[in-house]
């Protein structure tokens, strides 16, 4: 990115002043090294988002930002419905409510390493993964609608988990306002056999070790100690969410002119929040959020069964489940705003009423998944983040090169063997997929997390290193 186009507000905050059709500035949080390496398209997309009707404050980009569809991935924007604010399917993304959950195991690294290969094989054979993967759950029409309305709460009531799990999930596991009737038959058909599956791309299931603690007080509240083994699950709403995004983007693009909306980029297709189309999308998107929450809940149940067979002393209690790729109604600056987070994580600070009571004193867990073979992080939300970016933080490392470029640079078998030499076991149905997700195809997650911490978006609590990775 061309630094001469930016005004440096602080060491980790850069501003693009309003110009042309921009209604607000665009703010990018990054170190000089990170922002210099960002694609120029991040600049262009952050500027375009700042042109949308009803936007409040600024168009924001997180330290992991990279080129996305319409919004940059790592983009955050809030809209006021009383000022003509819009909702954008591109500002949510195709994998609606893709997110991360982290589970304690009550085990240590040594416990995992005693059965590492057996555990890797068992998880791979019992967790459906890969393009078009299907699971053991098959939903008829009434069950589909119940799942889309109930989310993780529906999954727990169906026998996949415990009520205690719901206390550690955003929205207590059930997104209100979901309207299954606004989800197309095609989207439902795509999801009928995909519940309890990881999918492909950057989705994964990892067994990890806590290797560093940065905030002992917060780590104690989160139940994390050096040497602990945890499980991290990263996936979303699968085919259903993608279908909803595809259909509504087309409808929004076709109707923009009749709503008097000038689109700087067709990929920013949107609709007024208070329009019929806007309300229809909200109902469908919220149903997709419930789909993702239910999906991760079923996967948790499957993981627990594998551990029960191989490591029966494991407990697998839920630390937290947090989504990215959402639009949620939140109160900020004394306004009810529709906050889009595309590849960005909510990061409510200490004392926020939406943080589970047991964690409220230190803030919401912010789960940052690494790329395959690299570290992941647990952070905590800050009060400062509310002022900076509507309580938002990064969600991962962010791609440094395209999947096509990565697959031309590395061979999957070489990546698997290289990680095995470091004690990390990879299991995947696709060596091409492994090459596309090679660690060096992503930015340095530690640099991204250090930037988020230094900027005040969230504060570092613990670092996690992979031991086993099941990859789509």
Q: What is the DSSP track for 131-189?
A: TT---S----HHHHHHHHHHHHHHHHHTTSS-HHHHTTBGGGG--TT--GGGS-HHHHH
Q: What is the CA radius of gyration of the chain?
A: 21
> Domain for residue 224, yes or no?
no
Count of CB atoms situated within 10 Å of the CB of 233: 26
> Domain for residue 22, yes or no?
yes
The answer to whether 395 is a known catalytic residue is yes
From 51-65, 123-137, 237-251, the region with the lowest mean pLDDT:
123-137
- The rounded distance, in Å, linking the Cα atoms of 365 and 2 is 34
> Domain for residue 472, yes or no?
no
**Mean pLDDT of the chain, nearest integer:** 96
pLDDT at 48: 98
pTM summary value: 0.97
CA distances from 98 to 250, 267, 346, 369 (A): 21, 20, 13, 12
- pLDDT category of residue 217 using cuts at 50, 70 and 90: very high
- The rounded distance, in Å, linking the Cα atoms of 446 and 211 is 13
pLDDT at 130: 82
pLDDT at 8: 96
Burial class (CB in 10 A: 0-12, 13-18, 19+), 413: exposed
Compute the CA torsion angle 183, 282, 393, 246 (nearest 10 deg).
40
> Domain for residue 444, yes or no?
no
Residue 243, pLDDT > 90, answer yes
Count of CB atoms situated within 10 Å of the CB of 418: 15
Structure confidence by residue, pLDDT tens digits, 396-418? 998 888 999 999 999 999 999 99
Structure confidence by residue, pLDDT tens digits, 121-159? 999 999 999 888 888 899 999 999 999 999 999 999 999
Residue 201, pLDDT > 90, answer no
pLDDT at 131: 83
Q: 338: domain CATH number?
A: 3.90.1860.10
DSSP string, 22-68: -SS-EEEE--HHHHHHS-HHHHHHHHHHTTSTTEEEEEEEEEEEE--
Instruction: Please name the residues in contact with 357: beta carbons below 8 A apart, sequence gap of 6 or more.
Output: none
Instruction: Please name the residues in contact with 336: beta carbons below 8 A apart, sequence gap of 6 or more.
Output: 81, 329, 330
What average pLDDT score do residues 80-89 get? 98
> Domain for residue 245, yes or no?
yes
pLDDT at 132: 80
CA distances from 283 to 76, 86, 151, 174, 273 (A): 21, 15, 14, 13, 11
Domain of 64, in residue numbers: 3-99+130-196+235-311+319-374+384-400
- The rounded distance, in Å, linking the Cα atoms of 320 and 362 is 14
Half-sphere exposure of 179 (CA within 13 A, CB side): 11
Residue 318 CA, distance from chain mean position? 17
| Token duo for residue 41 | 């398209």
Number of structural domains in the chain: 1
**Helix %, strand %, coil % of the chain (to 5):** 40, 25, 35
What average pLDDT score do residues 210-239 get? 98
- The rounded distance, in Å, linking the Cα atoms of 383 and 373 is 32
Instruction: Please name the residues in contact with 191: beta carbons below 8 A apart, sequence gap of 6 or more.
Output: 139, 144, 237, 238, 239, 240, 291
Structure confidence by residue, pLDDT tens digits, 408-453? 999 999 999 999 999 999 999 999 999 999 989 998 999 999 999 9
Identify the active-site residue in 203, 301, 395, 404. 395
> Domain for residue 161, yes or no?
yes
Instruction: Please name the residues in contact with 444: beta carbons below 8 A apart, sequence gap of 6 or more.
Output: 397
pLDDT at 134: 84
Q: Is the dihedral of CA 271, 274, 280, 284 positive or negative?
A: positive
> Domain for residue 55, yes or no?
yes
Beta bridge partners of 367: 378
pLDDT at 303: 98
| Token duo for residue 379 | 């952070």
- pLDDT category of residue 234 using cuts at 50, 70 and 90: very high
> Domain for residue 442, yes or no?
no
What average pLDDT score do residues 64-89 get? 97
What average pLDDT score do residues 5-23 get? 97
- The rounded distance, in Å, linking the Cα atoms of 456 and 450 is 10
CA distances from 362 to 192, 217, 345, 382 (A): 39, 8, 17, 8
SS3 429: coil
What average pLDDT score do residues 51-57 get? 98
Burial class (CB in 10 A: 0-12, 13-18, 19+), 204: buried
Structure confidence by residue, pLDDT tens digits, 340-370? 999 999 999 999 999 999 999 999 999 999 9
Inter-residue contact 21 to 264 (CB < 8 Å): yes
| Token duo for residue 265 | 């980029």
* Three-state SS sequence of 243-306: HHHHHHHHHHHHHCHHHCCCCCCHHHCEEECCCHHHHHHHHHHHHHHHHHHHHHHHHHHHHHHH
pLDDT at 371: 85
Half-sphere exposure of 89 (CA within 13 A, CB side): 29
pLDDT at 372: 87
Structure confidence by residue, pLDDT tens digits, 305-350? 999 999 999 999 999 999 999 999 999 999 999 999 999 999 999 9
Q: Characterize 349-367 residue by residue with b for buried, 16 or more Cβ atoms within 10 angstroms of its Cβ, and e for exposed.
A: bbebeebeeebbebbbbbb
pLDDT at 30: 97
Residue 374, pLDDT > 90, answer yes
- The rounded distance, in Å, linking the Cα atoms of 221 and 72 is 34
**Percentage of the chain lying above the pLDDT 90 cut:** 94
């Amino acid at each position: 990115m061309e630094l001469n186009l930016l005004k440096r507000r602080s060491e980790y905050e850069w501003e693009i002043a309003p110009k042309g059709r921009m209604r607000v500035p665009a703010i990018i949080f990054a170190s000089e090294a990170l922002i210099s390496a960002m694609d120029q398209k991040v600049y262009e997309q952050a500027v375009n988002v700042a042109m949308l009707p009803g936007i409040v404050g600024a168009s924001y980009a997180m330290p992991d930002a990279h080129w996305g569809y319409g919004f940059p991935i790592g983009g955050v924007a809030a809209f006021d419905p009383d000022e003509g604010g819009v909702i954008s399917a591109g500002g949510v993304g195709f994998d609606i409510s893709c997110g991360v959950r982290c589970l304690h195991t009550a085990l240590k690294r040594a416990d995992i390493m005693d059965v590492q290969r057996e555990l890797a094989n068992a998880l791979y054979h019992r967790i459906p993964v890969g393009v078009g993967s299907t699971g053991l759950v098959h939903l008829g029409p009434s069950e589909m609608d119940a799942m889309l309305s109930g989310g993780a709460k529906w999954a727990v009531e169906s026998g996949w988990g415990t009520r205690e799990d719901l206390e550690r999930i955003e929205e207590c596991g059930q997104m209100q306002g979901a309207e299954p009737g606004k989800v197309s038959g095609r989207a439902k058909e795509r999801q009928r056999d995909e519940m309890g599956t990881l999918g492909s791309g950057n989705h994964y299931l990892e067994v990890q070790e806590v290797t560093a603690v940065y905030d002992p007080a917060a780590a104690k509240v989160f139940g994390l100690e050096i040497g602990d083994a945890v499980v991290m699950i990263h996936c979303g709403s699968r085919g259903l969410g993608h279908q909803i995004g595809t259909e509504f983007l087309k409808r929004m693009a076709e109707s923009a002119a009749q709503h008097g909306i000038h689109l700087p980029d067709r990929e920013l297709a949107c609709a007024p929040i208070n329009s019929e189309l806007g309300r229809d999308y909200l109902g469908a998107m919220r149903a997709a959020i419930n789909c993702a929450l239910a999906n991760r809940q079923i996967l948790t149940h499957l993981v627990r069964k594998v551990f029960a067979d191989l490591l029966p002393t494991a407990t697998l209690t839920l630390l937290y489940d947090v989504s990215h790729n959402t639009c949620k109604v939140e109160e900020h600056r004394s306004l009810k705003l529709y906050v889009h987070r595309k590849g960005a994580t909510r990061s409510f600070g200490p004392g926020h009423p939406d943080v589970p009571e047991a964690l409220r004193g230190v803030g919401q867990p912010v789960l940052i998944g690494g790329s395959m073979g690299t570290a992941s992080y647990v952070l905590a939300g800050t009060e400062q983040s509310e002022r900076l970016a509507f309580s938002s933080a990064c969600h991962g490392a962010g791609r440094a090169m395209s999947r096509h470029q990565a697959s031309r640079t590395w061979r999957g078998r070489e990546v698997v063997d290289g990680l095995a030499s470091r004690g990390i076991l990879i299991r995947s149905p696709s060596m091409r997929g492994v090459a596309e997700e090679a660690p060096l195809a992503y930015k340095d997650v530690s640099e991204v997390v250090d930037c988020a911490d230094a900027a005040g978006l969230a504060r570092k609590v613990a670092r996690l290193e992979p031991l086993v990775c099941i990859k789509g």
